[in-house]
Amino acid sequence: MLIYLNGKLVPKEEAKVSVFDHGFLYGDGVFEGIRIYNGKIFKLKEHIERLYASAHAIDLKPPLTQEELLKATVETVRANNLRDGYIRIVISRGEGDLGLDPRKCPNPTVVIIADKIAIYPEEVYKKGMKIITVSTRRNSPQALNPNIKSLNYLNNILAKIEANRANVPEAIMLSIEGYVAEATGDNIFIVKNKKLITPPLHLGVLPGITRQTVIELAKERGIISEEKPFTLYDVYTADECFLTGTAAEIVPVVEVDGREINGGVPGEITLLLMKDFHEYVKKEGVEVYK
C-alpha cells in the first residue's frame, strides 16, 4: 500500500508523522472520508470543497490548492490500483511545540490513504438497523461547530462507546437543546406523510455529502425534503427513518429506543432512494483510470 504524505507516495511502513504534530497532540486538523465506486471517486470535488471549508473555519491554510489535492487523490488511488474502496484525506496543523499555539506549526501535514472499505453486513440493508439514543449530546455549535469535519472526534467516540455498550451499530445524538442532530458518523432522515425531514445544518450537524445527494435524488422523484428541527417523538412516530453517510450509504432504521418504525421493516421511500443511490454512484464521479 502506498500512502501520500506531504507530496510523496511512500510505502505504508514509511508513512510516519511526528509525535509533535498537533493533529496527534490536540486533534487539530480536518479530514474527509470518500468512496471509490467502479473506478470513479464519488463526489470528489464536493468532499474537497468541504475539506477546505473546514480548514478555513479553523484558520488552517492547506499547502496545496484544491485542484492539486484533487490530482494527488486520484494519483494515490491509481497507485494502489483500487476500483472500489475508501479514501481518507487528512490535513493536520503539522509539527509544533507542546503548547497549543497553531502559529508554531508552519507546515500542515497532508495525508491521503486509499484502502478497502469495511461495510455493514448485507443483512442490515435488507432488514434495517435497530439503534438507540445516547446520552452524549452533539457538540454545541457555539463550542465546536459540527459543521466542521475536524480531527477532534471524541464527542462522536463517546457516543459510539455508549452504542457499543448497548450492542447497536449506530446511535442518535441530540443537540444541546434536545433536538435530533445526527448519528455518530451519519446524518439522519425521517419520512412523514411522504416527505423527507432532516435536521437543518445550523442545529450543529455535518453537511453530509450523502445527505445532499439523497435530497437531490428525492427531488428528482418529486419527493420534497424539509430541513427543520424535530424531536425523538417525531422519530418514534415517523413513517420511515434512515441514516446516510459515505461509508454507510443509506441504511434503513427500523427500531429506535425499542420503538418499532414501519412495523420493524425498511420503508418504501427508503428502499426507493437506496435503489436510486446505488444506480447514481455507478455513474457519478471522477474517473481514476482514463
Give catalytic residue positions: 149
Count of residues of this chain found to bind ligand PMP when the rule CB under 6 A is applied: 14
Task: List alpha helices for 84-231, DSSP H.
Answer: 122-127, 154-165, 209-220
136 binds ligand PMP (CB under 6 A): no
Among 211, 215, 281, 288, indicate the residue that binds ligand PMP (CB under 6 A).
211
Cβ proximity to ligand PMP, 214 vs 238, nearer residue: 214
244 binds ligand PMP (CB under 6 A): yes
Q: Which residues of 190-221 are buried (b: 16+ CB within 10 A; e: fewer)?
A: bbeeeebbbbebebbbbbbbbbbbbbebbeee
182 binds ligand PMP (CB under 6 A): yes
The distance of closest approach from Cβ of residue 258 to ligand PMP in the complex, given in angstroms and rounded to an integer, is 24
Q: Cβ neighbours of residue 35 under 8 Å, at least 6 residues apart?
A: 41, 42, 85, 86, 87, 117, 246, 247, 281
Q: Which stretch binds ligand PMP (CB under 6 A): 19-27, 58-66, 215-223, 239-247?
A: 239-247
Strand 8-11 relative to strand 2-5, pairing: antiparallel
**DSSP H or E segment with residue 115:** strand 109-115
The distance of closest approach from Cβ of residue 275 to ligand PMP in the complex, given in angstroms and rounded to an integer, is 18
155 binds ligand PMP (CB under 6 A): no
The distance of closest approach from Cβ of residue 222 to ligand PMP in the complex, given in angstroms and rounded to an integer, is 23
* Residue 146 CA: distances (Å) to CA of 15, 43, 156: 29, 20, 10
Region at 184 (left for phi over 0; alpha for psi -120 to 50; beta for the rest): alpha
134 binds ligand PMP (CB under 6 A): no
Q: Which three cell numbers stand for residue 118?
A: 469495511
Cβ proximity to ligand PMP, 66 vs 107, nearer residue: 66
Q: Which stretch binds ligand PMP (CB under 6 A): 5-13, 79-87, 242-250, 269-277?
A: 242-250
Strand 259-260 relative to strand 225-227, pairing: unpaired
246 binds ligand PMP (CB under 6 A): yes
186 binds ligand PMP (CB under 6 A): yes
Show contacts with ligand PMP in window 14-33 (CB under 6 A).
Answer: 33
d(CA 47, CA 41) in angstroms, rounded, equals: 10
Among 25, 44, 48, 206, indicate the residue that binds ligand PMP (CB under 6 A).
206
Q: Which stretch binds ligand PMP (CB under 6 A): 191-199, 204-212, 225-233, 266-274?
A: 204-212
187 binds ligand PMP (CB under 6 A): yes
The distance of closest approach from Cβ of residue 286 to ligand PMP in the complex, given in angstroms and rounded to an integer, is 16
Task: Count other Cβ atoms within 10 Å, centred on residue 289.
Answer: 10
d(CA 188, CA 235) in angstroms, rounded, equals: 10
d(CA 48, CA 41) in angstroms, rounded, equals: 12
d(CA 96, CA 281) in angstroms, rounded, equals: 40
Among 96, 141, 185, 204, indicate the residue that binds ligand PMP (CB under 6 A).
185
Among 133, 175, 210, 270, indicate the residue that binds ligand PMP (CB under 6 A).
210
Task: List alpha helices for 8-109, DSSP H.
Answer: 22-26, 44-57, 66-79
Binding site for ligand PMP (CB under 6 A): 33, 156, 182, 185-187, 206, 208-211, 244-246
